[in-house]
Amino acid sequence: NLDLADLSFGEGAHLMSNRTCELPAQSWRAQKKGYEEVHVPAVKHAPGKDERLVALEELPEWTHSAFKGMARLNRIQSKMKPAALEGEGNILLCAPTGAGKTNCAMMTMLNVIGRYRRPGAGPEGADAYDLDAFKIVYVAPM
């Protein structure tokens, strides 16, 4: 028989077997009642070789209203732009909260909408869209 209680640590999740813990620069600790708070700032990643952020002006003009207030796509969005806005394949994107996944999803929707866009075919020369030709279902959070 395996006695799990005998194998568990008495301190539970509070066990720290290291004598010291060296934190990165700009980190801080705060002792609280019953726990210790440790703040470690996010690492600033250096841009990769040939990596650059895509300016909003580089996107088709008709897509700009979907990105109001933005001057450029962030790192993940810029990397995903060719697949999301211009590609036709499936995408599986995993990234931390706040990384820009929602705007990547927006680019995939704009990709589909753009396939049914008729420039200048609407009233007063506005663009028209064949809205009966496609359906988009967006489920969030995943």
Q: Count the helices and strands in the chain (H runs, E runs).
A: 3, 4
In a domain, 48, yes or no: no
Higher pLDDT among residues 17 and 105, named by residue: 105
- The pLDDT tens digits for 48-77 are 888 999 999 999 999 999 999 999 999 999
CB-based contact 136:109 (threshold 8 Å) = yes
The answer on 77 and 15 residing in a single domain is no
Question: Are 114 and 62 in the same domain?
Answer: yes
How much is the average pLDDT of 8-25?
78
Judged against a pLDDT cut of 90, whether residue 17 lies above it is answered with no
On whether both 70 and 100 belong to a single domain, the answer is yes
**Whether residues 114 and 74 fall in one domain:** yes
Do 63 and 111 belong together in one domain? yes
* Domains of the chain: total: 2
Contact (CB, 8 A) for 84 and 92: no
**70 and 19 in one domain?**
no
For the full predicted model, state whether its pTM sits above 0.85: no
C-alpha span between 138 and 142 (Å, rounded):
10
Task: Report in angstroms the alpha-carbon separations of 121 from 31, 101, 125, 133, 134.
Answer: 65, 32, 6, 16, 18
| Domain range for 27 | 4-39
Q: Do 124 and 81 belong to one domain?
A: yes
Question: What confidence tens digit (pLDDT) does each residue in 104-135 have?
Answer: 999 999 999 999 999 989 999 999 999 999 99
